[in-house]
Amino acid sequence: MGTNQLPPEEGGDNILPVDLKAALEERYLAYALSTIMHRALPDVRDGLKPVHRRIIHAMSEMGIRPNSAFKKCARIVGDVIGKFHPHGDQSVYDALVRLAQDFSQRYPVVDGQGNFGNIDGDSAAAYRYTEARMTDVAALLLEGIDQDAVDFRPTYNEEDDEPTVLPGAFPNLLANGASGIAVGMATSIPPHNAHELCDAALYLIKNPGASVEELFADPAHPERGGIEGPDFPTGGVIVESRASMLETYRTGRGGFRVRAKWEIEDLGRGGYQIIVTQIPFQVQKSRLIEKIAELLIARRLPLLEDVRDESAEDIRLVLVPKSRTVDATLLMESLFKLTELESRIPLNMNVLSQGKVPKVMALNEVLTEWLDHRKDVLVRRSKFRLAAIDRRLEILGGLLIAYLNLDEVIRIIREEDEPKPVLIAKWDLTDNQAEAILNMRLRNLRKLEEFEIRKEHDALSAEKAEIESLLASTDKQWQTVAWEIGEVKKKYAKATDLGRRRTVFSDAPDADVEAIQQAMIEKEPITVVISEKGWIRALKGHISDTSSLTFKEGDALKVAFPAQTTDKILLVTTGGKVYTLGGDKLPGGRGHGEPLRIMVDMENDQDVLTAFVHDSSRKLIFVSTAGNGFIVPEGEVVANTRKGKQVMNVGMPDEAKLVVPVSGDHMAVVGENRKLLVFPLAQIPEMTRGKGVRLQRYKDGGISDVKFFAIADGLTWADSAGRTFTKTKEELVEWQGDRASAGRLVPKGFPRSGKFSG
């Protein structure tokens, strides 16, 4: 503690007032930066977060190479937290385990021995039981680390040094992917195929500044290669369009829809079962089966009979259809909708550029930065090698002088008290050369040695010239980087077992959305009953006689109609709003049902006007009390939320009064003033929302009823006694007019109620 921070002699608390806002901002920013830089985001150059880099470096320091023996994970974790990473042992071990799981990593970095968990979500054995060593991928990431390829920094206690980034001869960021949540930002990168990444990198070396489209595999140019899309360790089928994937890679943000891979297994005699052999990335198999079983019990999958897990080393989920007539595609589409058999893998290429700046990068930017890093590593390794060659050539030069003057050298060493300065003065040697001569063994004085020294000198001189020409030429540097990438490509080519592409691409079948919706609900007949006070229920079966229905005190039947559990029920309120309810979601017929206001957000001053089964092929007319109206396609009024959809704009005291399906070519309107007007349907506009247009003009009162009809058939109505009246086209002439006219008094025999139905 500095002397200026000690309390003053004369007492006092020496308390310094600090602005709380500024102090919190400063501390929170420091925490946020620490999380972003040193924990959650990977470096674009080696694709590693600090914990992974430290695990690999610790294994390297311990001498655990791909060809060495396995070592206990407890030792590795101990070294990591003792020397480099002062965090919890379990968190470090979890990171180590993930690096070894072949269902988490496309190209595992750690070779594990023992129980390292499985795709069912079971955790690994404790670190005292498991053992690990590096894979060839880790060796590639470290290649050249002892040749000054990267910068080192002191560890947290400044006892050791650790690399700030690894040389990264393997395109690890994209090949293995990454995910992490920092403060205010996150990253999520799916794994890719190393062969394709190498192809894209090689193309980028030849064509600097190439766009994302050029790096993407083009079916028209298969010889060029390039990135086709993610390649997950667990396989699966990507059902994303090429255009969508291009946009995702161009912006660095987006996602990929991945589906399980399935096939039909024929059981003979027309029977079949579906076998799922690959599931989407990062989906736990056991949880997936639990979810399917839950949906089966909840009767949400009426096409499915049973699900079984017959997996051993490979995945084999058996889905048994309800009957042999079930369409397999439709069954799978309903499962994709409801379960993790289809999952969306996000891409958010938020990485540390230059190891310092977090930013979202496009595919070509990520590859360019990796290539630049590879070039830097090459230059640094070359300079390191050059310095080593220079030191050796200097020593070889001194040794040659000694051989040429061997007797004199021996004499000086035997007779002089301080031979070193004498040697230096006699032949103008450097300190290193003199030291090398003095350290020479007697056995090296044989004749052959001089020849070998000259041979080594020539070889090193030739290598030095090569390195110097490499350092002098950017083109040669890029050629060397390309050669190195070519070697990696050979090692992880698609022809190899590890390099073979596992994820395939396909278009999702164009299954009818309605059919899929229906496939998720068990189809049963129901009767929907709504009371005057807004209570709703669904009775089983179709009930034609509603007189036996009971209601609460002071309540009565508003509307009742037959439907199916698979239907959508449309509910229209006096405020011109439409709500949508699923037939399968309605409360059962026991008791009086439930108040509608619990199920939808209805305003208190509005009531139910009507309800009916949705038919997307129809058109409806909305009419308000004041006599305004417009036509709307029924598909446009469906609402997907509790809030409903405002279709008709009405303000008190005006309300929505009638909703009628449109038919025929003319419309008859009758007002409360018992005036009738007939005009062509073409005069009414079609809209999706609005106030509508005036249908009939009134001095006072409003509309009573409307009816659609074909003018050729004439206008029909029924009176209260059930008698039917028809006015032909010729007889209707005096009531025909234009929309918004007043009309004329109704003809004789028109019902007193002012309704066309008596």
pLDDT of the residue at 7: 56
Lowest mean pLDDT: which of 90-94, 99-103, 412-416, 711-715?
711-715
Return the pLDDT at 627: 82
Average pLDDT in the chain: 87
Residue 695: Cβ within 10 Å count: 26
- Provide CB contacts within 8 A for 98, sequence distance 6+: 104, 105
What per-residue confidence (pLDDT) applies to 229? 93
pLDDT tops 60 at residue 30:
yes
- Judge whether residue 689 has pLDDT over 60: yes
**DSSP state at residue 700:** S
Residue that wins the pLDDT comparison between 303 and 93:
93
Confidence band of 328 (pLDDT split at 50, 70, 90): confident
Which of these ranges, 8-22, 64-78, 655-669, has the smallest mean pLDDT? Answer: 8-22
Residue 521's pLDDT is 66
433-487 residue pLDDT tens? 898 888 888 877 776 678 888 899 999 999 999 999 999 999 999 999 999 999 9
Q: What pLDDT was estimated at residue 703? A: 82
Q: Which of 72-81, 435-444, 546-555, 567-576 has the lowest mean pLDDT?
A: 546-555
**109/101 Cα distance (integer angstroms):** 9
- Give the pLDDT of residue 9: 62
Q: What pLDDT, on a 0 to 100 scale, did the predictor assign at position 518?
A: 62
CA distance 492 to 502: 13
Q: Is the pLDDT of residue 1 over 50?
A: no
What is residue 29's predicted lDDT score, i.e. its pLDDT?
92
Residue 340 three-state SS: coil
Q: Provide the β-strand partners of residue 273.
A: 265
Please say whether the beta carbons of 232 and 526 come within 8 A.
no
Q: Does the pLDDT value for residue 354 go beyond 70? A: yes
Residue 9 burial (C-beta neighbours within 10 Å; 0-12, 13-18, 19+): exposed
Q: Are 525 and 541 in contact (CB under 8 A)?
A: yes
pLDDT (0 to 100) of residue 92: 96
Which pLDDT band holds residue 516 (cuts at 50, 70, 90)?
low
Confidence of residue 15 (pLDDT cuts 50, 70, 90): confident
pLDDT score recorded for residue 80 = 95
What is the model's pLDDT at position 520? Answer: 61
What band does 581 get if pLDDT is binned at 50, 70 and 90?
confident
Nearest residue to 116 (alpha-carbon basis) of 104, 105, 100: 100
User: 753 or 205: which carries more pLDDT confidence?
Assistant: 205
Lowest-pLDDT choice from 303-307, 342-346, 420-424, 540-544: 540-544
Mean pLDDT of 716-723: 75
Q: 639 near 695, Cβ under 8 Å?
A: no
Q: Tens digit of pLDDT for each residue in 308-317? A: 999 888 899 9
| 3-state secondary structure (DSSP) of residue 715 | strand
Q: Classify strands 619-624 and 645-646 as parallel, antiparallel or unpaired.
A: unpaired
Distance CA 657, CA 652 (A): 12
pLDDT tens for each residue of 129-174: 999 999 999 999 999 999 999 999 999 999 999 999 999 999 999 9
Please choose, from the candidates 144, 143, 153, 135, the residue with its C-alpha nearest in 3D space to the C-alpha of residue 54: 153
Name the token pair of 451: 């020849």
Phi, psi (rounded to 5 degrees) for 136: -65, -30
CA angle 619, 620, 622 (to 5 degrees): 150
Widest distance between CA atoms in the chain: 150
Q: Are 228 and 363 in contact (CB under 8 A)?
A: no
Percent of the chain with pLDDT over 70: 95
Q: Give the whole-angstrom CA distance, residue 514 versus residue 201.
A: 45
Give the three-class secondary structure for 216: strand
Question: Of how many residues is the chain composed?
Answer: 758
Catalytic residues: 129
Taking a C-beta distance cutoff of 8 angstroms, is the pair 136, 161 a contact?
no
Which of the two residues, 11 and 430, has the higher pLDDT score?
Answer: 430
pLDDT-derived band at 596 (thresholds 50, 70, 90) equals confident
- Over the stretch 53-78, which tens digit does the pLDDT of each residue have? 999 999 999 999 999 999 999 999 99
Rg (CA), the chain: 41
List Cα–Cα distances, 697 to 679, 744, 753, in angstroms.
13, 11, 20
Question: How far is Cα 506 from Cα 41, in angstroms, rounded to an integer?
Answer: 32
Which token pair is 5? 């921070």
Asked if 308 and 320 count as a contact pair (C-beta separation under 8 A), the reply is yes
Give residue 750's pLDDT band: very low, low, confident or very high (50, 70, 90): confident
Torsion of CA 68, 72, 75, 77, to 10 degrees: 100
pLDDT band at 510 (very low <50, low <70, confident <90, very high): low
Does 721 score more than 80 pLDDT? no
Question: Quick one: how far is CA 180 from the chain centroid?
Answer: 13
Nearest to 74 by CA among 29, 140, 127, 6: 127
